[in-house]
């Protein structure tokens, strides 16, 4: 198709789709008037049934915990796929010492940059850990905490360079940790299935409301997700960071 | 009332910045627009009383994806040299 | 006050992202447009669960029973964001891999097979 | 162990094993991982088969987290297993096991990612078939997708594989967004995600929102099902994906998309859209027929054998869409049997193509001309597979076609099966045509002016390693199963019973939300299949005739000219399959716009 034909086609069909979607959303209840009942029922029952103030966390890790299990494995599969696709050249350099690398910065890093990076890393770790652990109390949780913690990798990369990043985060142990994080979630589900007859049904005692680890399975799953997300995103960053090293382009097969 | 004003502004910015991201054809410029878009979405989600989502969008939209794209762009630049 | 326009924004973002994908001349640009299209689904899902003047569904500071927005849409969007991020990263890895072989990212020049 | 606990086991065990494989992968020999994966596949096959068996005594509902509904409101996610869904899940696990067995000798070395991703993919398929929650379905759709993109690009040194994976990923992602758009609309209206609950809340009257929500969800799922014009990614991805994976892609993943459309229609929308059956039927049949013939014509004369098979899958998607479009329990029954018969056949054929690639280093029909002489097992398997694709008795596809035929007569569309028969015969004929060239060197030589297409490098293991017993055994076993499935006594009536249960919206509502116990499956009498023997045989004869025409028409007076005319007519169709991903996106948008407009305009 010529690019002009394609543009014409997408303009027409895009316009039609816009009208269709507008036509459809016009049938929704007015903005700001969510009719329920799903969320309202959960807002009512979850605080005392699950002893948890953050209902979003309760939905993510309990009421709709299977969605989150699937989501964790999406991350897991994607990270495996990225490693598969980008590892080609990694194999070659596996046993060689890391070659001097030019990365995003061609200029030498100053001490000021490194110091700033160190500070930022400390703040990020504190913030990420706080978010990750306080899933039941405040907004945030394993996912948010994990992504922000893994941001440390990005900071190390920018502040100290690829070599430091690759040295501080070894790929193989990380892969194992990631697999354990993902697998533990599935295993918790299977264990609760054996214990209670329902997959992911809470089988742990609940503490008093407002305590940090009082939420039974939610707390444990939150931890698994924190580990899996943090390790998964670190691996992802590592694979992409590796690409910034200078290499000869591969010859085309043609 | 202020709530709605904030939402209105965030929604308008969402529509505009999304369009800008799409129309920025040059990947390097586009990725900065995209980071801005991540921030706008974060603002919108916060305004819609979804702090959990806002935090995730901040982490993903302004760090994770831009980092992967930047690394890809650097790699492509290096490959050309 | 905002009313229908809120939903219209989601519709616009969806379509504009699609337009960007179809007219793209660069796979990385295409991937980011895909992300834009996906973001419209976050916006729409959060909007349908929103309630005017309500608080977030976190009852640490407020008592249960206070008007709160839907927690389910938050959970759905969270899932969606992870899915989007990982799929985007995977596609980027594909684009990178292709570029290594062919030194181009122009979709017109990259045809796996024809006819 | 109760049947209720089998449902979560079947999808969670492979996930746990996948993580285990990834964790121990670097430290154990490859065969341990392979064996672990195969054992898990067998386990899931048995678990799902038991589940399907138990479901005949009443639909099985598993509430995750033990959150049973309160006053008709679902708090959590439910797996809702009816006999049809259970059987297809078992079939998915079975095919996965076969594919893993095939891969055992297919690859000399495959790293841990292969079993890990295969297990994840299988788990997603199983969950997709069993879930009774709309958003959960989306999650499994995406999980299946991500694992599938990564597996498609498995041979990363081949850039066309990576490009195929890219187009696959982009198109399926947009499909997922369309599904999500529909879910958001439905959720905004009903505040529910459980299918039965949504269906109850939607009532029996359709407005624009409901019609368009269905249109978006259906369009998104049909991207996976490769309905024209959403089908472009399929031919690119299937031609380049690793062969063991093609077995799953063409055998069950594509059909899973269509199953989901049927599931969503019957479990969610059938109450509200019931008054517009005629319109919906017409629209879907138009799309189905376009797909069937696009696939069939593109299939005919393909040089790349795997791509040929991929286009045949598209043609069969069209046939299946027409079966669903009958919107009756019998149509669903025919569709499910056809999915099983076709999946086994196509799986066997893809395995044969893999063996060719493995032993002879190419799947280009012209390069293989006359080179198949020693491979008698392969020749017989491909020939039988081709006839099964056409729908010859007693293959499973024949039983399916026969059920579809009766279902079509019931709604006054007696002509439809005859049209579909031509499409099926064309795909069978294409395979026979290719086989005639490869095995016996028949047919006109290729046009010397046409440039030789660049085809893939062999996947693995190339070279003479003796008779590939394991691989041929897998392929032959699938073809034999495709035949056996058509011979099971009372298979037709079991399928009809499963179809009745599948479309029973009120019954499902009572079981899911009110927890009334289910009733055993009734087995309605099926029409004797002898009544369709004639059409089945006709299809086989037509397939042979098409192949003969393609192979020998040039010897007839003016035969060569006729071939040229046909070629010219097919040129525009070939040209739109141009491999440009942006074109595919434009087609996707156009298709969604067309589907949505057609439904919205006529359903008022």
**DSSP string computed for A139-191:** S--HHHHHHHHHHHHHHHHHHH-HHHHHHHS-HHHHHHHHHHHHHHHHHHHHH
Q: Which single residue is written with the structure tokens 């994908």?
A: C21
Residue to test with chain C: of B28, B40, B45, B56, most C Cβ within 10 A: B56
Q: Is the pLDDT of residue A106 over 50?
A: no
Contact A34 C6 (CB under 8 A): no
ipTM value: 0.95
* Cross-chain residue pair B57–C53, CB shorter than 8 Å: no
Structure tokens at A149: 């913690």
- C78 part of contact set with chain A, CB < 8 Å: yes
Report the residue from A32, A67, A74 with minimal CB separation from C51. Answer: A32
Interface of A with C in 148-187 (CB under 8 A): none
B76 has a pLDDT exceeding 90: no
CB-based contact D156 A84, cutoff 8 Å? yes
Give me the pLDDT at residue D372, please: 83
Angle ∠(C52,C57,C59) on CA atoms, nearest 5: 120
- Using 50, 70 and 90 to split pLDDT, how confident is the model at C14? very high
B4 with C82: Cβ contact below 8 A: no
Residue D36 binned pLDDT confidence (cut-offs 50, 70, 90): very high
Given a cut of 60, whether residue D457 has pLDDT beyond it is no
Q: Which pLDDT score, from 0 to 100, does residue B81 have?
A: 54
CA angle D594, D321, D312 (to 5 degrees): 105
Which residues have a Cβ under 8 Å from the Cβ of D68 and sit 6 or more positions away?
D75, D515
Q: Which residues of D touch A9 (CB under 8 A)?
A: 586-587, 589-590
Tokens of D279: 């319109």
* CA–CA distance, D372 with D388 (Å, rounded to integer): 21
> Residue D37's pLDDT is what?
95
Would you state the pLDDT for residue B80? 62
Judging by beta carbons within 10 Å of its beta carbon (0-12, 13-18, 19+), is residue D31 exposed, middle or buried?
exposed
> Does any CB of chain B come closer than 8 Å to the CB of residue C91?
no
Q: Which of A246, A80, A82 is nearest to A178 (CA)?
A: A80
Mean pLDDT value across residues A182-195? 93
Model confidence band, residue A140 (pLDDT cutoffs 50, 70, 90): confident
pLDDT of residue D479 exceeding 50, the answer is yes
A17 within 8 A of D590, measured Cβ to Cβ: no
- Distant-in-sequence, close-in-space partners of D448: CB < 8 Å, separation ≥ 6: none
Cβ of residue A216 closer than 8 Å to a chain D Cβ: no
Are C98 and D585 within 8 A, CB to CB? no
The C-alpha atoms of residue D471 and residue D468 are separated, in whole angstroms, by 6
Q: What is the pLDDT of residue D104?
A: 87
CA A74 – CA D142 distance, rounded (Å): 7
Nearest to D75 among A20, A42, A189 (CB): A42
Among candidate residues C77, C21, D219, the one with its CA nearest the CA of residue B18: C21
More confident residue, D467 or D491: D491
CB contacts under 8 A, A 106-135 vs D, are none
Does a cis peptide bond (omega within 30 degrees of 0) precede residue D229? yes
Beta-carbon separation of A241 and B51 below 8 A = no
Percent of chain D at pLDDT > 70 equals 96
Angle made by CA atoms C107, C109, C110, in degrees to the nearest 5: 65
Asked which of A231-245, D8-22, D283-297 is least confident by mean pLDDT, the reply is A231-245
CB contact under 8 A, D26 and A175: yes
Query: Which of C22, C69, C97 comes nearest A34 by C-beta?
Result: C69
Section A71-84 average pLDDT: 95
What pLDDT, on the 0 to 100 scale, is given for residue A247? 53
């Amino acid at each position: 198709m010529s690019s002009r034909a394609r543009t014409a086609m997408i303009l027409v069909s895009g316009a039609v789709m816009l009208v269709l979607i507008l036509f459809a959303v016009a049938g929704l209840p007015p903005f700001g008037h969510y009719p329920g009942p799903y969320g309202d029922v959960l807002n009512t029952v979850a605080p005392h049934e699950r002893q948890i103030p953050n209902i979003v966390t309760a939905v993510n890790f309990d009421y709709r915990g299977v969605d989150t299990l699937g989501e964790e494995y999406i991350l897991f599969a994607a990270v495996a796929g990225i490693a598969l696709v980008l590892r080609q050249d990694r194999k070659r350099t596996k046993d060689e010492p890391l070659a001097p690398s030019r990365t995003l910065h061609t200029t030498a890093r100053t001490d000021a940059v490194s110091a700033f990076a160190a500070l930022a890393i400390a703040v990020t770790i504190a913030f990420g850990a706080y978010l990750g652990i306080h899933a039941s109390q405040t907004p945030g949780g394993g996912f948010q905490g994990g992504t922000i913690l893994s941001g440390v990798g990005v900071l190390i990369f920018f502040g100290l360079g690829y070599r430091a990043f690759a040295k501080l985060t070894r790929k193989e142990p990380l892969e194992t940790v990631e697999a354990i994080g993902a697998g533990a979630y599935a295993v918790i589900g299977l264990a609760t299935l054996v214990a209670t007859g329902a997959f992911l049904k809470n089988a742990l005692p609940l503490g008093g409301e407002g305590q940090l680890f009082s939420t039974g399975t939610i707390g444990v799953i939150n931890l698994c997700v924190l580990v899996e997300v943090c390790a998964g995103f670190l691996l992802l960053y590592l694979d992409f960071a590796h690409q910034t090293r200078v290499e000869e382009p591969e010859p085309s097969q043609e | 009332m202020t709530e709605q004003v904030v939402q209105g502004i965030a929604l308008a910015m969402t529509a505009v910045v999304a369009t800008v991201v799409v129309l920025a054809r040059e990947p390097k410029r586009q990725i900065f627009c995209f980071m801005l878009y991540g921030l706008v979405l974060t603002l919108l989600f916060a305004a819609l009383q979804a702090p959990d989502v806002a935090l995730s969008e901040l982490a993903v939209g302004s760090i994770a994806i831009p980092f992967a794209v930047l690394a890809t762009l650097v790699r492509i630049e290096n490959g050309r040299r | 006050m905002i009313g229908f326009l809120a939903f219209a924004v989601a519709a616009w973002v969806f379509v504009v992202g699609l337009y960007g994908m179809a007219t793209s001349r660069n796979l990385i640009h295409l991937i980011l447009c895909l992300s834009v299209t996906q973001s419209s689904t976050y916006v729409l899902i959060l909007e349908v669960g929103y309630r005017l003047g309500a608080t977030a569904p976190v009852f640490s500071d407020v008592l249960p029973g206070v008007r709160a927005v839907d927690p389910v849409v938050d959970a759905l969007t969270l899932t969606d964001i992870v899915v989007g991020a990982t799929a985007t990263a995977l596609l980027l890895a594909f684009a990178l891999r292709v570029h290594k072989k062919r030194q181009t990212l122009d979709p017109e020049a990259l045809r796996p097979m024809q006819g | 162990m109760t049947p209720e606990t089998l449902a979560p086991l079947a999808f969670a065990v492979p996930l746990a094993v996948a993580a285990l494989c990834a964790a121990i992968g670097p430290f154990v020999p490859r065969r341990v991982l392979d064996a672990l994966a195969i054992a898990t596949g067998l386990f899931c096959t048995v678990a799902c088969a038991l589940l399907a068996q138990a479901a005949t005594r009443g639909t099985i509902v598993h509430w995750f987290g033990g959150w049973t509904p309160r006053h008709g409101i679902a708090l959590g996610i439910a797996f809702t297993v009816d006999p049809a869904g259970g059987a297809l899940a078992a079939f998915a696990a079975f095919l996965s096991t076969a594919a893993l067995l095939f891969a055992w000798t297919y690859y000399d070395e495959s790293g841990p990612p292969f079993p890990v991703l295969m297990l994840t993919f299988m788990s997603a398929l199983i969950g997709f078939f069993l879930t009774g929650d709309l958003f959960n379905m989306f999650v499994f759709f995406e999980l299946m997708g991500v694992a599938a993109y990564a597996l498609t690009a498995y041979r990363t040194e081949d850039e066309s594989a990576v490009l195929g994976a890219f187009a696959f990923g982009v198109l399926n992602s947009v499909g997922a967004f369309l599904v999500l758009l529909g879910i958001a609309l439905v959720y905004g209206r009903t505040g529910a995600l459980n299918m039965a609950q949504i269906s109850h809340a939607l009532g029996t009257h359709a407005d624009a929102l409901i019609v368009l929500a269905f249109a978006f969800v259906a369009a998104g799922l049909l991207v996976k099902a490769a309905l024209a014009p959403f089908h472009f990614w399929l031919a690119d991805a299937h031609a380049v994906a690793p062969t063991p994976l093609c077995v799953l892609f063409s055998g069950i993943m594509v059909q899973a998309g269509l199953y989901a459309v049927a599931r969503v229609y019957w479990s969610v929308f059938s109450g509200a859209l019931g008054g517009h059956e005629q319109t919906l039927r017409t629209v879907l049949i138009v799309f189905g027929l376009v797909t069937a013939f696009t696939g069939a014509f593109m299939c005919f004369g393909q040089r790349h054998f795997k791509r040929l098979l991929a286009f045949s899958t598209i043609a069969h998607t069209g046939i299946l869409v027409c079966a669903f479009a009958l919107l009756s329990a019998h149509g669903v029954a025919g569709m499910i049997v056809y999915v099983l018969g076709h999946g086994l056949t196509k799986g066997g054929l893809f395995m044969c193509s893999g063996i060719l690639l493995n032993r002879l280093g190419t799947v280009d029909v012209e390069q293989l001309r006359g080179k198949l002489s020693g491979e008698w097992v392969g020749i017989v398997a491909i020939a039988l597979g081709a006839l099964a694709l056409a729908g010859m008795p007693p293959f499973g596809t024949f039983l399916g076609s026969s059920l579809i035929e009766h279902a079509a007569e019931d709604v006054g569309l007696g002509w439809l099966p005859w049209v579909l028969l031509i499409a099926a015969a064309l795909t069978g004929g294409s395979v026979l045509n290719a086989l005639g060239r490869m095995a016996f060197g028949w047919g006109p030589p290729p046009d010397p002016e046409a440039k030789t297409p660049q085809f893939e490098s062999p996947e693995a293991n190339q070279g003479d390693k003796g008779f590939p017993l394991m691989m041929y055994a897998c392929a032959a076993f699938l073809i034999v199963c495709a035949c056996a499935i058509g011979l099971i006594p009372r298979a037709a009536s079991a399928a009809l019973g499963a179809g009745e249960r599948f479309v029973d919206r009120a019954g499902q509502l009572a079981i899911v939300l009110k927890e009334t116990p289910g009733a055993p499956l009734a087995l309605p009498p099926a029409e004797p299949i002898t009544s369709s023997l004639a059409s089945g045989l006709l299809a086989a004869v037509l397939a042979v005739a098409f192949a003969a025409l393609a192979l020998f028409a040039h010897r007839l007076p003016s035969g060569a000219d006729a071939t040229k005319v046909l070629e010219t007519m097919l040129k525009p169709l070939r040209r739109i399959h141009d491999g440009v991903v942006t074109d595919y996106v434009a087609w996707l948008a156009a298709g969604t716009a067309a589907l949505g407009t057609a439904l919205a305009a006529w359903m008022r």
